[in-house]
Amino acid sequence: MAEQSAEQFKGEARLPRFAAPRRYDLRLTPDLDACVFSGSVVVSVDVTAPTRFLVLNAADLEFASGGVHFTPQGTGQVLHAVEVTNVPEDEILIIRFNEVLPLGEGALAIAFKGTLNDKMNGFYRSVYELNGEKKNMAVTQFEPADARRCFPCWDEPSFKAVFKITLEVPSETVALSNMPVVEEKVNGPTKVVYFEETPIMSTYLVAVIVGLFDYVEAFTSDGTRVRVYTQVGKSAQGKFALEVAVKTLILFKEYFAVPYPLPKMDMIAIPDFASGAMENYGLVTYRETALLFDERHSAAANKQRVAVVVAHELAHQWFGNLVTMEWWTHLWLNEGFATWVAYLAADNFFPEWNVWTQFLEESTTGFKLDALAGSHPIEVDVNHVDEIDEIFDAISYRKGASVIRMLQSYLGAETFQKSLAAYIKRFAYSNAKTEDLWAALEEGSGEPVKTLMHSWTKQQGYPVVNMRLKDGKLEMEQTQFLSSGSEGVVQWVIPITLCCCSYSRQEKFLFHGKQEDFNLSGLVECQKKDDFWIKLNVNQTGFYRVNYDEELASRLRYAVEANKLSAADRYGVLDDTYALCMAGKQKLVSLLHLIAAYKNETEYTVLAHAITTSLSIFEMMAVAAPEELSNLKKFLIDFLEPFAQRLGWDAKSGEGHLNALLRGTLLTALAELGHEATINEAVRRFNVFLEDRETSLLPPDVRKAAYVALMQTANKSNRAGYESLLKIYRETDLSQEKVRVLGSLASSPDPDVVRDALDFILSPEVRNQDSIFVLRGVSAAAHEVAWTWLKEKWDYISNTFSGTLLTYFVSVTVSPLFTDEKGDDAEEFFKSRTKASIARTVKQSIERVRISAKWVKSTRSEANLGNVLKELAHKN
């Protein structure tokens, strides 16, 4: 045996593997009033190589001296630890024994104490009100690496074990964990609740909740008990999620060809929650906004959110919980896959929502982040726990989901599903790497999946295919697409799809090289047609952009105008042109002309994207060419107004979900553009609503629009609108309503009002989980106000917020800045303030500022812009 010393375990990314846990017997006793807990754990450990040490994770816990001992199985002998060292930087516990531990199993017993913290991770407290009285509940959030804040454990996804959990809690409370209760022993004011043993699983999926709740319940057709727990008195708001969950469990049982492995599924709304939801095995936790649906006051967008989040978390029960990533490098397997398959479920249950078209927004967000030099590969090295939070980002989720969609459409839905089911079966109750998934898909399809996919998951970025039509041949060339306009040298294996003049025939092939000419049969015939067009990346299933030559681009513009393309392709043409324009590869005037081609657009997602694009141009132009703003504004309002007139403010009876979504988006945009008629109508309706919250004049789908409109009228001397919104905020008990208000509060162009709204974030009236909504809603005119504010409050903010919440503060505030000067300022500011947990975000956000500054410059050099805008503004 090599000589061991405690030093060798420090500063390592992963725990040593000479001992592994098999079973945890965990007992926790939370004190909800004092906000502390005590606990004891007995871990059955398998020692596989001689060692005097046991090394596991622990953080923010206290250990009584002499409280750690190890009992090798069958010997009856108790070995007392001679030294227990907690290394806070590494969040590990190094336990030293005098003698070498015998190989085989033994029981490690540790007693400990901790605090029910207010940071929304580890074992924490969330505050709620019952009959006017404030109460605490105890909740766990362990992913990615905070189980160690609740009990000492091997806190890495590949150390799977069985958990036998016992809770000692006040008798009147509801105590929940991953498994059903086997026994409850009430002893006066306290009770001891024993839960069934779990199947083997990772620590990050363990969960415990103690508080007062109501629930609704249903059973799946194969007998799984499903419950949705809510605040007392609000269980009716859980019904929609319950219905979705029951259907989803059955759908995924079929899709993965494995039944849901646990006897029950509980889902619960937590008032203070760091992310959107968490897939704990058998006990999924949610933000209220992601689980609850109120028939009268929730919007269509809220409904869709609930359905998608529920489907996402339930997908993890297989993809993540049953088959778990081997290490965080493969986090994308969990998140990318769950994101993708949630759309599959939503499309199944709600075909009229056209979610596969809406999915393109996910791809766009992935595209945007991945067009930065500071992006990262889907499979990313993780060397320290602090780096994990930051990779729960658009690369893991949205690029991940997009490349899965690309692969599925290349292999075909049936082959894809069969191979997936084989993968799940092969790795159930175990761990897998990205390669393992490719291997299963390669076996199932006979296609070179590994070679194809490595170029997408092991290298960052994505390609743009430059397309030219020359002498009857198509010329294709690929380069890396970067928003900065630079060109990378990397290449991809691109599954190309192509349509020419119609969708009835599709060309399909893999494009490996740098450059290739392509002879398209039928091209000559097709080219003779007046309405000739070619669309690459049919229905946008590929994760790449296309840059067409001028001729092909203008043909596509006609095809959009004449409604020849599918909705996804109409979306793609616009999104690619916008990205290319920002990168200096297409002229802004071409983009503006293209937007005008969408004047008869019928699809929600496409029009919504045209709106987002328009508002982004508007913001940029306010910096680049303020003198052109009035023409631009006129053009955009003329473009949007007819849609708004058709839709009106009131829902038509029996109208679809997508109309409801569109109405809100459209009216909000018109309000932001300062459209007077919209603002006046909004204020009129709002005033009625202020007096009567049940009025039919302001349905939930248009409330946000009305709030934003109202805020356009607020300024330093007229704060009535702002105050009224606060009143709505204070008087509602629906989280979705609170979020609508928060998202509107800072949308005033007036810097003083925005400052007040920002200060409100840090007041006790706003839960930490919700602060980000205000920042996200800061008006274009006030981004610099928000940046100044963030700098002033940074010390407080960086001490109060952590994880993804803290990174949002940075990205949402820094990214929208527009000048190099501000970029320098941000760089200077974070030089002395950066830390591992925000380093990536700081870098990416500053890069975005540089890109915007460059876009401003290239816009200023566009000679013809003024004339084109004049022409567009006075077309009608």
Nearest CA among 701, 764, 754 for reference residue 730: 764
- Is 313 a residue that touches ligand BES (CB under 6 A)? yes
Backbone angles phi, psi at 33, to 5 degrees: -85, -45
- Is 362 a residue that touches ligand BES (CB under 6 A)? no
Chain residues that interact with Zn ion, rule: CB under 5 A: 335, 338
Span from 273-281, 521-529, 676-684, 728-736 in contact with ligand BES (CB under 6 A): 273-281
CB 290 to ligand BES: min, Å: 7
Q: Which helix (H) or strand (E) holds 129?
A: strand 122-130
Interface with ligand BES (CB under 6 A), residue from 55, 308, 637, 660: 308
CB 332 to ligand BES: min, Å: 11
- Is 361 a residue that touches ligand BES (CB under 6 A)? no
**For Zn ion, the closer CB: 174 or 338:** 338
- Is 275 a residue that touches ligand BES (CB under 6 A)? yes
CB 290 to Zn ion: min, Å: 12
Residue 155 half-sphere exposure, CB side, CA atoms within 13 Å? 26
CB 282 to ligand BES: min, Å: 14
Query: Do residues 454 and 433 lie in contact, with contact meaning Cβ atoms separated by under 8 Å?
Result: no
Residue 278 touches which member of Zn ion, ligand BES, none, C-beta under 5-8 Å by kind: ligand BES
The size of the interface with ligand BES (CB under 6 A), counted in residues, is 17
Instruction: Work out whether the CA dihedral 408, 409, 415, 418 comes out positive or negative.
Output: positive
C-alpha–C-alpha distance, residues 416 and 406, integer Å: 11
C-alpha–C-alpha distance, residues 745 and 777, integer Å: 7
Residue 393 touches which member of ligand BES, Zn ion, none, C-beta under 5-8 Å by kind: none
Residue 308 touches which member of Zn ion, ligand BES, none, C-beta under 5-8 Å by kind: ligand BES
Report DSSP state, residue 6: G
**For ligand BES, the closer CB: 119 or 663:** 119
Span from 304-312, 406-414, 615-623, 764-772 in contact with ligand BES (CB under 6 A): 304-312
Measured CA angle at 434 (ends 432, 438), to 5 deg: 105
Catalytic residue, from 91, 168, 279, 313: name it: 313
**For ligand BES, the closer CB: 202 or 747:** 202
- Is 804 a residue that touches ligand BES (CB under 6 A)? yes
Tokens of 816: 């929208």
Residue 154 touches which member of Zn ion, ligand BES, none, C-beta under 5-8 Å by kind: none
C-alpha–C-alpha distance, residues 76 and 232, integer Å: 49
Residue 143 touches which member of ligand BES, Zn ion, none, C-beta under 5-8 Å by kind: ligand BES
Residue 675 touches which member of ligand BES, Zn ion, none, C-beta under 5-8 Å by kind: none
CB 271 to Zn ion: min, Å: 21
**For Zn ion, the closer CB: 112 or 319:** 319
Report DSSP state, residue 861: T
Interface with ligand BES (CB under 6 A), residue from 125, 160, 227, 316: 316
Span from 211-219, 309-317, 344-352, 415-423 in contact with ligand BES (CB under 6 A): 309-317
Tokens of 414: 């049936």
Q: Which amino acid is at 524?
A: V
Q: How many CB atoms lie within 10 A of CB 793?
A: 16
Residue 751 touches which member of Zn ion, ligand BES, none, C-beta under 5-8 Å by kind: none
Strand 323-325 to 430-432 pairing = parallel
C-alpha–C-alpha distance, residues 333 and 471, integer Å: 44
Strand 515-518 to 51-57 pairing = unpaired
Residue 847 touches which member of ligand BES, Zn ion, none, C-beta under 5-8 Å by kind: none
Query: Do residues 488 and 482 lie in contact, with contact meaning Cβ atoms separated by under 8 Å?
Result: yes
C-alpha–C-alpha distance, residues 4 and 155, integer Å: 22
Q: Roughly what angle, to the nearest 10 degrees, separates helices 604-624 and 657-672?
A: 10
**How would you class 575 by CB atoms within 10 Å of its CB: exposed for 0-12, middle for 13-18, buried for 19 or more?**
buried
Which strands sit side by side in the sheet containing 122-130, from one edge to the other?
122-130, 133-141, 208-211, 174-177
**For ligand BES, the closer CB: 388 or 453:** 388
- Is 279 a residue that touches ligand BES (CB under 6 A)? yes
715 three-state secondary structure: strand
Catalytic residue check, 550: no
**For ligand BES, the closer CB: 277 or 345:** 277
Residue 470 half-sphere exposure, CB side, CA atoms within 13 Å? 10
Beta-ladder partners of 507: 498
C-alpha–C-alpha distance, residues 177 and 160, integer Å: 17
Query: Do residues 499 and 528 lie in contact, with contact meaning Cβ atoms separated by under 8 Å?
Result: no
Residue 822 touches which member of ligand BES, Zn ion, none, C-beta under 5-8 Å by kind: none
CB 278 to Zn ion: min, Å: 8
Instruction: Work out whether the CA dihedral 796, 800, 806, 808 comes out positive or negative.
Output: negative
- Is 536 a residue that touches ligand BES (CB under 6 A)? no
Interface with ligand BES (CB under 6 A), residue from 32, 245, 309, 610: 309
CB 313 to ligand BES: min, Å: 6
C-alpha–C-alpha distance, residues 797 and 790, integer Å: 8
Q: Which helix (H) or strand (E) holds 52?
A: strand 51-57
Footprint of ligand BES on 136-155 (CB under 6 A): 143-144
Residue nearest to Zn ion (CB): 338
Span from 75-83, 277-285, 616-624, 648-656 in contact with ligand BES (CB under 6 A): 277-285
Binding mask 331-350 for ligand BES (x = CB under 6 A): ----x--xx-----------
Residue owning tokens 């998140």: 335
Largest CA distance in the chain: 92
Interface with ligand BES (CB under 6 A), residue from 277, 534, 597, 662: 277
Burial 400-435 (b: 16+ CB within 10 A, else e): bbbbbbbbbbbbeeebbbbbbbbbbeebeeebbbbb
- Is 278 a residue that touches ligand BES (CB under 6 A)? yes
C-alpha–C-alpha distance, residues 156 and 153, integer Å: 9
Which strands sit side by side in the sheet containing 225-230, from one edge to the other?
214-219, 225-230, 264-270, 283-287, 277-278
Residue 277 touches which member of ligand BES, Zn ion, none, C-beta under 5-8 Å by kind: ligand BES
CB 392 to ligand BES: min, Å: 4
CB 772 to ligand BES: min, Å: 12
Footprint of ligand BES on 378-397 (CB under 6 A): 392
CB 393 to ligand BES: min, Å: 9
Residue 284 half-sphere exposure, CB side, CA atoms within 13 Å? 28
Q: How many CB atoms lie within 10 A of CB 133?
A: 7
Residue 196 touches which member of ligand BES, Zn ion, none, C-beta under 5-8 Å by kind: none
- Is 241 a residue that touches ligand BES (CB under 6 A)? no
CB 260 to ligand BES: min, Å: 16
CB 632 to ligand BES: min, Å: 34
**For ligand BES, the closer CB: 205 or 644:** 205
**For ligand BES, the closer CB: 267 or 873:** 267
Query: Do residues 403 and 336 lie in contact, with contact meaning Cβ atoms separated by under 8 Å?
Result: yes
Q: Which amino acid is at 814?
A: V
- Is 669 a residue that touches ligand BES (CB under 6 A)? no
Interface with ligand BES (CB under 6 A), residue from 16, 102, 180, 276: 276
CB 143 to ligand BES: min, Å: 4
Interface with ligand BES (CB under 6 A), residue from 312, 585, 609, 840: 312
* Residues forming the site for ligand BES (CB under 6 A): 143-144, 275-279, 308-309, 312-313, 316, 335, 338-339, 392, 804
**Which residues are identified as catalytic?**
313
